[in-house]
Amino acid sequence: MQPSCDNSFVRSGRFRRRAAGGYTLTEMLVVIFILSIVVVAALPVAKRVMDDTRSTESARQLNAQAALAKTMAGRNNRPFGLWFEYEVPAGAPAGVKQCTQIYLAEVQPPYAGSTLNSRAKVVQNGMQYELGFFDTSGNADTTVEPVYLANLVDDGDEFLVRFDYRGVWFLFRRVGTQFVLQTSMASTLYPPGYNTPTSPAKPFQVLRMPRRVGKPLVLTGGTCVDVQYSGMGPSSAFQSPLTTANRLILLFAPDGSVDGMFLDNARVPVTGTIHFLIGQTDKINAPFGANADHPTGFNLFAEETSNLMDPNSFWVSIGRLNGSVTSTDNLPPPLDQATLSPTSVTVFPSEAAIPAGRQQTLNPTVAPAATLGVMLLHSRENATTREQRGGN
C-alpha cells in the first residue's frame, strides 16, 4: 500500500527542488549579498598585502641584480655594476623621477693607444692642462691619437687615465676636441708633464664611461625606485642633482667594494652607504608638492602620497667599503597627528626631546631641505643599522 501524498505539493515543484538540493531565488540573493559584504571589507587588507608583496619582490630583484654585478666584476677583473634608467612619470612636475628598469653596466677594457708607440702626458693650454699625445721620439701627435680617442669618448664624458701602467688614475673630461684634466692638484701626485713640460711622455691606459649591458631588469609591476628619497649616507638625497640627470650608474670593483658612481656623465664621490627606496609608482610625487587632503599641506607626510611614509616600502642599501647589499623594511617616524600644520611637524611625540630623545618639531615651510633630511635620517635608521651589521 503506497503512502498518501498531497498531490498539490508535488505538482508545485517545491518538493522536487528540495529533493534535488536546490535553493530558492531569495536564498541565493542572501548568499550573494553576504559574499559582497565580505569581499568589500577584505579589499583594503588584500590591497595592502599585495602592495607589501610587490615591494618585497622588487627589493629581492634589486638585491639579486647587485649580487650578479659584483660577481661579474670579479670574473672580468674590471668594474661592473648597475645602470638605473630614470623616467618622468606621466603628469609629474619637473624634477620628479622614478626608475622601473635597471640594467647591468660594464667598464670596457682599458684603451692603451692605437699603436705600441703611443705615448701621452699633460700639456698646459692657457689656464688648464690637457692630455697630449706623442710618439716614442717625443714628436707631438695632433691628428691620429686624438681622433681615435674622440671616437671612443663622447663630448662631455669623463674618463680616467693612468701612466706607465701603474699608479693612480687621473680624471679627465672631453670638452669639444680637448681632453681636460679635472683632478684637483692639491696633492703630491701629479701626472707626467704637470709643471714639468720637458718630462717625457709615458705609455698610458684609458678607462672609459661604463656602458649598458643586455636587457633590463623590470621591477615588479606597480613598483619603482623612488628617486626623491634615494640617496647617500644617513640623510642625503639625490634629489637636487637628479632634477636634470637621466641615469645613475653604480660600479663595483673586482674586490666587491663600491668602485664609483656616475650621474649622467659626471663622476660623483661615494662617501657613504647608498640607499634606494623601493615604493609604489602611484606615490611618486614632489615631497613638498601641495596636498590639500593632509593637515601639513605637503605630499611628504601623507602615507597615501609618499613612499617615505609608507611602511610597505623597502630600503635596499649598498655598503661603500665591502659592497654588501641589504634589504630592510621602511620604518617612517611617527608624527603628532593632533598638532600637524604647514609650519609644524613633530616627530616621535611620545619620546623625550633631542638630544636625550628623538622628538623634534620641524618647519617644512621655512626649512624644507632640513625637514627632508630629518625625515630621511629617521626612515633610514633601521636600514643603516642593518647594513653596518652585515644585513640580510
Q: Which CATH number do you get for residue 257?
A: 3.55.40.10
The answer to whether 208 and 111 have CB atoms below 8 angstroms apart is yes
The answer to whether 99 and 85 have CB atoms below 8 angstroms apart is yes
368, 373, 379, 383: CA torsion to nearest 10: 160
The pLDDT of residue 10 is above 50? no
For the ranges 7-11, 188-192, 373-377, which has the lowest average pLDDT? 7-11
Q: What is the pLDDT at residue 298?
A: 96
Last residue of a domain, one of 161, 183, 207: 207
Percent of the chain residues topping a pLDDT of 90: 59
Whether 4 maps to a domain, the answer reads no
Residues 95, 225 within the same domain? yes
Whether 180 maps to a domain, the answer reads yes
The Cα–Cα gap between 315 and 167 comes to 37
Q: What is the mean pLDDT of the chain?
A: 86
Residues 69, 139 within the same domain? no
User: Residue 340's closest CA among 296, 385, 388?
Assistant: 296
Q: How far apart are the first and last CA of the chain?
A: 81
Last residue of a domain, one of 158, 181, 207: 207
Residues 239, 189 within the same domain? no
User: Residue 323's closest CA among 59, 74, 58, 76?
Assistant: 74
- Amino acid residing at 63: N
The Cα–Cα gap between 384 and 387 comes to 5
Q: What is the pLDDT at residue 9?
A: 45
Q: Confidence class of residue 15 from pLDDT cuts 50, 70 and 90?
A: very low
Query: Over the stretch 195-231, which tens digit does the pLDDT of each residue have?
Result: 888 999 999 999 998 999 999 999 998 999 999 999 9
Last residue of a domain, one of 159, 190, 207: 207
- Amino acid residing at 34: I
Residues 148, 100 within the same domain? no
Residues 190, 233 within the same domain? no
Whether 33 maps to a domain, the answer reads no
Residues 189, 229 within the same domain? no
User: Residue 308's closest CA among 383, 386, 249, 211?
Assistant: 383
pTM for the whole structure = 0.78
Q: What is the pLDDT at residue 291?
A: 95
Give CA separation, 272 vs 65, 166, 314, in Å: 20, 27, 19
Residues 242, 199 within the same domain? no
Q: What is the pLDDT at residue 197?
A: 87
Domain hosting 78: range is: 50-107+210-388
Whether 20 maps to a domain, the answer reads no
